[in-house]
């Protein structure tokens, strides 16, 4: 008797191993080829069933054959993922130290995770069943005759027929006479779109810098090359993208475009649609499962010319990928902060490398990691230093807040300036990165503050919703009537959030409508779209928001941009805080004075002498970023060193800290065994900067080295020992490779 085939199946669970299953004996031999990469439904635990993916097969198993359960169904008839994507996900699983089953889980659209077929929804088609004689006989019933002539050529969907004037009642009548029949089949899509490619005539003459950048990419666009397009806001980066797409699309190759947030920047999609008469499909979280699966299928079969999506679109399986563009490459949303903690930019570069295709990263404010690679010559560095068209760069200045009377954080100077801009019928943007009415509620008698009982943080006061809200654990509390310390009823809102500023603005500028854009009032995507339209039509004159408003919007009538309060970021212990502030400042400045109107940017601070602010005001991001790189080098921080962060959290602080101490010992042992102790730095465990969050104490252990591969190898060697520690089951722990957030 032949030995049964044993499949190692990756399951969507956070365990670093696969599970063995037997294939049912009744499968025909032709069903047993190319098993790896096919989905299976398997029993798991008691009566549970799970969808997993076959990772490898063998005819020997360490386990007793009788004890190995059988696969319930083999879902796919061929591997679900193409080889390049499969290899990439395997690489990511190793590099990010994340279980392969869960990596697959994240990479697949939800419908596929649930076991749905990787096909389009079948559509209703009509087929002819009549003879020529029948057709002639219907000649007097004009519509029916017309329908039969159409269907005689080829079967068509009800939708296609409707466009040609054939109604449902005509189809029903013909069906009753048995002249046509209804079938369900997969819709057909044009795979040869590139033949019909036409570019819209409506495009600007390129600037010299744009032309140079475009030529540089187009001359080397058939192999791996990573380009950094460093271009100030308004310099026409999108125009560059559009021009480098054309030759790729003409070759019949597909393009993948990754953006931080589609819901927030519908303009970018519209610009691609306006330029090319090609099928463009989107992938982002606001789409339903069916739409996401459709995009997946279009990418895979090649009927999508362009795929535009957010972070996870980087996992699209694309038949003939020719180019990746990643816009706003510095954006923090590209890093997934939980579970599979990948960075879409780094994954994209790896993907381009493995598939030997070009990739273009674009930003006005490149991440220091990216900039470092470009300055070292690993990436081709392309520059756009001038604004395109007639737009002029804004002027920026500081307002020293020291000793000034403030109204909800607004200085008299800023209020006056706003008045001047508004009177000229221009729009004004105010940035305040704090939502709610005020960040704390305080006792006016004794200074007691309302603190979250589960976090090392204060509750934010939300006046309109009338509750206190912890922005870290999402718990809420009714507004207390009295101070818990002294019993006073005088509780006052301390500090300014967007909600309060909005109120003040309405009193200060009653004739200029204010719109507030933050997470509290844009939960629905439709409302955000509506706001954007209203802003463009000039319905609002004062735009107030958190950094949501800084992301790539074009508001041509905005001439004044003000940052209300940036001092928090100046004295933050996160070494990336200054980089983030510089990026925010520069991105925000880019919103001012886009069209013909010159813009003005104002920054309010108590520390006008601060070196970072002076540098930003006087020399801008280019200078800042180069200097910041020198500082990072001196301080031995990324990008000159690589990092991985082990985190552990638990209701019991000692358990969390202990676990990391044991991890540290294991890591030291591994380093010793491989003689790399001098090349690896272990820091910690130390408490996280917010030590307690949602009731758990949080600790972290930092692993650092100038050699990326050493971090990967060391963690890989140590991780099994971590999982075997009994303590590992008592705490929540994770590994974050290339962490960007140390909160």
* Site of interaction with Zn ion (CB under 5 A): 443, 445-446, 448, 452, 454-455, 470, 472-473, 483, 485-486, 488
Quote the least distance from Cβ 474 to Zn ion, whole Å.
7
Q: List % helix, strand, coil for the chain (3-state, nearest 5).
A: 35, 25, 40
Q: Which of 676, 577, 579 is nearest to 629 (CA)?
A: 579
Q: Which of 542, 197, 229, 173 is nearest to 381 (CA)?
A: 229
Q: Output 90 or 557, the one with its CB closest to ligand ADP.
A: 557
SS (H, E, C) 9-66: EECCCCCCCCEEEECCCCCCHHHHCCCCCCEEEEEECCCEEEEEEEEEEECCCCCCHH
Q: Which does 520 bind (CB under 5 to 8 A by kind): ligand ADP, Zn ion, none?
A: none
User: Using CB under 6 A, which of 41, 206, 287, 719 touches ligand ADP?
Assistant: 206
Position closest to ligand ADP via CB:
236
Q: Output 225 or 238, the one with its CB closest to ligand ADP.
A: 238
Q: Output 589 or 700, the one with its CB closest to ligand ADP.
A: 589
| Alpha helix ranges (H) inside 138-259 | 142-153, 158-163, 168-176, 208-218, 237-250
Q: Which does 207 bind (CB under 5 to 8 A by kind): Zn ion, ligand ADP, none?
A: ligand ADP
Q: Which of 585, 437, 436, 560 is nearest to 509 (CA)?
A: 560
Quote the least distance from Cβ 95 to ligand ADP, whole Å.
31
Assess contact for 299 and 280: CB atoms under 8 A.
Answer: no
Q: Output 234 or 497, the one with its CB closest to ligand ADP.
A: 234
Q: Output 205 or 223, the one with its CB closest to ligand ADP.
A: 205
| Alpha helix ranges (H) inside 50-127 | 83-95, 100-107, 110-113
# residues near ligand ADP by CB under 6 A? 15
Q: Output 225 or 235, the one with its CB closest to ligand ADP.
A: 235
Handedness of CA 95, 96, 98, 104 (dihedral sign): negative
Q: Which does 388 bind (CB under 5 to 8 A by kind): Zn ion, ligand ADP, none?
A: ligand ADP
User: Using CB under 6 A, which of 207, 365, 578, 600 touches ligand ADP?
Assistant: 207
Q: Is 204 in the site for ligand ADP (CB under 6 A)?
A: yes
Assess contact for 649 and 657: CB atoms under 8 A.
Answer: no
Backbone angles phi, psi at 644, to 5 degrees: -140, 145
Other Cβ atoms closer than 10 A to 101: 23
Q: Output 484 or 539, the one with its CB closest to Zn ion.
A: 484
Q: Among the candidate windows 7-15, 206-214, 692-700, 708-716, which touches ligand ADP by CB under 6 A?
A: 206-214
Quote the least distance from Cβ 469 to Zn ion, whole Å.
9
Distance of alpha carbon 606 from alpha carbon 442, whole angstroms: 22
Distance of alpha carbon 480 from alpha carbon 491, whole angstroms: 8
Which positions ≥6 away from 479 have C-beta within 8 Å?
A: 441, 461, 466, 467, 468, 491
Q: Among the candidate windows 202-210, 293-301, 628-636, 731-739, which touches ligand ADP by CB under 6 A?
A: 202-210
Quote the least distance from Cβ 591 to ligand ADP, whole Å.
10
* 600-605/460-462 β-pairing: unpaired
Distance of alpha carbon 616 from alpha carbon 631, whole angstroms: 16
Task: Please tell me what DSSP assigns to residue 684.
Answer: E
Distance of alpha carbon 604 from alpha carbon 669, whole angstroms: 51
Distance of alpha carbon 51 from alpha carbon 116, whole angstroms: 10
Q: Which does 128 bind (CB under 5 to 8 A by kind): ligand ADP, Zn ion, none?
A: none
Which positions ≥6 away from 160 have C-beta within 8 Å?
A: none
Assess contact for 426 and 435: CB atoms under 8 A.
Answer: no
User: Using CB under 6 A, which of 138, 210, 522, 587 touches ligand ADP?
Assistant: 210
Backbone angles phi, psi at 641, to 5 degrees: -130, 155
Q: Output 259 or 731, the one with its CB closest to ligand ADP.
A: 259
Element (H, E) at 535: helix 525-536
Count of helices and strands (H, E) across the chain: 21, 30
- CA 292 to chain centroid, in Å, comes to 15
Q: Output 483 or 670, the one with its CB closest to Zn ion.
A: 483
Q: Taking CB under 6 A as the criterion, which residues in 226-245 touch ligand ADP?
A: 231, 233-239
Quote the least distance from Cβ 196 to ligand ADP, whole Å.
25
Q: Which does 505 bind (CB under 5 to 8 A by kind): ligand ADP, Zn ion, none?
A: none
| Contacts made by residues 149-158, CB under 8 angstroms, sequence distance 24+ | 151/126, 151/127, 151/180, 152/128, 155/125, 155/126, 155/127, 155/128, 155/183, 156/125, 156/126, 157/123, 157/124, 157/125, 157/126, 157/187, 158/123, 158/124, 158/125, 158/126
Per DSSP, the three-state class of 545 is: strand
Q: Which does 473 bind (CB under 5 to 8 A by kind): Zn ion, ligand ADP, none?
A: Zn ion
What is the C-alpha R_g of the chain?
30
Q: Which does 231 bind (CB under 5 to 8 A by kind): ligand ADP, Zn ion, none?
A: ligand ADP
Q: Among the candidate windows 66-74, 200-208, 461-469, 481-489, which touches ligand ADP by CB under 6 A?
A: 200-208
Q: What token pair was written down for 140?
A: 């007097």
Q: Output 165 or 204, the one with its CB closest to ligand ADP.
A: 204
Distance of alpha carbon 694 from alpha carbon 440, whole angstroms: 18
Q: Which does 445 bind (CB under 5 to 8 A by kind): Zn ion, ligand ADP, none?
A: Zn ion
Q: Taking CB under 6 A as the criterion, which residues in 234-293 touch ligand ADP?
A: 234-239
Q: Which of 624, 617, 593 is nearest to 394 (CA)?
A: 593
Quote the least distance from Cβ 576 to Zn ion, whole Å.
24
Q: Output 122 or 486, the one with its CB closest to Zn ion.
A: 486
Q: Is 589 in the site for ligand ADP (CB under 6 A)?
A: no
Q: Output 99 or 236, the one with its CB closest to ligand ADP.
A: 236
Task: Please tell me what DSSP assigns to residue 292.
Answer: H
Q: Output 519 or 598, the one with its CB closest to ligand ADP.
A: 598
Q: What token pair was written down for 256?
A: 């993948």
Quote the least distance from Cβ 299 to ligand ADP, whole Å.
25
Q: Which does 235 bind (CB under 5 to 8 A by kind): ligand ADP, Zn ion, none?
A: ligand ADP
Q: Is 389 in the site for ligand ADP (CB under 6 A)?
A: yes
Q: Is 14 in the site for ligand ADP (CB under 6 A)?
A: no
Q: Is 144 in the site for ligand ADP (CB under 6 A)?
A: no
Q: Output 239 or 579, the one with its CB closest to ligand ADP.
A: 239
User: Using CB under 6 A, which of 88, 344, 388, 452 touches ligand ADP?
Assistant: 388
Q: Output 81 or 388, the one with its CB closest to ligand ADP.
A: 388
Quote the least distance from Cβ 345 to ligand ADP, whole Å.
17
Quote the least distance from Cβ 209 to ligand ADP, whole Å.
9
Binding footprint of ligand ADP on the chain (CB under 6 A): 204-207, 210, 231, 233-239, 388-389
């Amino acid at each position: 008797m032949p030995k049964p085939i044993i499949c190692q199946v990756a399951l969507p669970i956070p365990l670093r191993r696969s599970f063995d299953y037997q294939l049912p004996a009744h499968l025909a031999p032709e069903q047993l080829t190319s098993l790896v990469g096919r989905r299976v439904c398997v029993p798991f635990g008691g009566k549970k069933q799970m969808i997993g993916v076959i990772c490898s097969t063998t005819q020997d198993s360490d386990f007793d054959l009788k004890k190995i359960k059988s696969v319930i169904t083999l879902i796919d008839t061929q591997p679900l993922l193409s080889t390049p994507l499969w290899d990439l996900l395997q690489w990511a699983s190793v590099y990010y130290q994340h279980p392969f089953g869960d990596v697959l889980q994240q990479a697949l659209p939800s419908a596929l995770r649930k076991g749905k077929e990787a096909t389009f929804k079948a559509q209703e088609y009509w087929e002819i069943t009549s003879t020529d004689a029948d057709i002639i006989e219907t000649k007097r019933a004009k519509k029916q005759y017309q329908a039969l002539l159409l269907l005689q050529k080829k079967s068509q969907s009800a939708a296609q027929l409707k466009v040609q004037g054939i109604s449902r009642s005509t189809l029903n009548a013909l069906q009753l006479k048995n002249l046509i029949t209804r079938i369900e089949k997969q819709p057909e899509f044009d795979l040869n779109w590139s033949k019909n490619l036409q570019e819209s005539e409506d495009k600007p003459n390129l600037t010299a810098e744009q032309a140079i950048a475009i030529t540089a990419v187009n001359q080397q666009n058939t192999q791996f090359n990573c380009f950094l397009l460093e271009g100030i806001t308004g310099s026409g980066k999108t125009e560059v993208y559009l021009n480098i797409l054309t030759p790729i699309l003409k070759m019949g190759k597909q393009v993948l475009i990754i953006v931080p947030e589609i819901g927030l920047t519908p303009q970018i999609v519209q610009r691609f649609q306006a330029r090319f008469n090609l099928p463009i499909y989107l992938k982002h979280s606001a789409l339903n499962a069916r739409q996401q699966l459709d995009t997946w299928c279009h990418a895979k079969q090649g009927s999508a010319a362009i795929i535009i999506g957010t972070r996870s679109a980087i996992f699209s399986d694309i038949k003939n990928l020719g180019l990746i563009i990643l816009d706003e490459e510095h954006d923090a949303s590209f890093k997934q902060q939980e579970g599979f903690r990948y960075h879409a930019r780094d994954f994209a570069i790896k993907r381009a490398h493995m598939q030997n295709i070009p990739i273009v990263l674009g930003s006005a404010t490149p991440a220091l990691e990216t900039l470092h690679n470009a300055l070292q010559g690993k990436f081709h560095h392309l520059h756009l230093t001038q604004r395109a068209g007639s737009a002029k760069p804004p002027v920026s200045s500081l307002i020293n807040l020291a000793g000034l009377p403030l109204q909800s954080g607004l200085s008299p100077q800023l209020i006056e300036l706003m008045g001047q801009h508004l009177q000229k019928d221009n729009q004004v943007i105010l940035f305040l990165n704090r939502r709610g009415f005020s960040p704390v509620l305080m006792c006016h008698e004794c200074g007691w503050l309302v603190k979250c009982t589960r976090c090392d943080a204060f509750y934010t006061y939300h006046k309109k919703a009338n509750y206190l809200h912890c922005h870290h654990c999402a718990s809420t509390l009714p507004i207390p009537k009295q101070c818990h310390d002294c019993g006073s009823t005088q509780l006052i809102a301390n500090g300014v959030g967007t909600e309060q500023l909005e109120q003040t603005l309405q009193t200060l500028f009653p004739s200029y409508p204010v719109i507030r854009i933050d997470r509290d009032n844009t939960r629905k995507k439709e409302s955000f779209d509506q706001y954007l339209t209203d802003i463009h039509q000039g319905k609002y004159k004062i735009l107030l928001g958190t950094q949501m408003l800084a992301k790539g919007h074009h508001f041509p009538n905005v001439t004044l941009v003000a940052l209300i309060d940036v001092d928090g970021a100046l004295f933050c212990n996160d070494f990336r805080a200054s980089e983030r502030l510089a990026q925010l400042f520069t991105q925000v400045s880019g919103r001012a004075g886009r069209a013909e109107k010159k813009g003005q940017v104002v920054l309010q601070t108590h520390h006008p002498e601060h070196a970072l602010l002076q540098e930003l005001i006087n020399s801008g991001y280019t200078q800042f970023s180069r200097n910041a790189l020198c500082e990072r080098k001196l301080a031995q921080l990324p990008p000159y060193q690589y990092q991985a962060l082990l985190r552990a959290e638990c209701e019991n602080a000692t358990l969390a800290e202990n676990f990391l101490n044991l991890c540290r010992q294991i890591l030291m042992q591994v380093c010793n065994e491989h003689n790399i102790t001098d090349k690896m730095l272990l820091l910690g465990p130390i408490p996280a900067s917010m030590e307690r969050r949602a009731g758990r104490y949080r600790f972290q252990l930092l692993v650092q080295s100038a050699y990326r591969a050493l971090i990967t190898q060391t963690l890989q060697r140590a991780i099994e020992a971590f999982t075997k520690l009994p303590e590992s089951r008592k705490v929540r722990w994770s590994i974050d490779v290339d962490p960007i957030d140390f909160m």
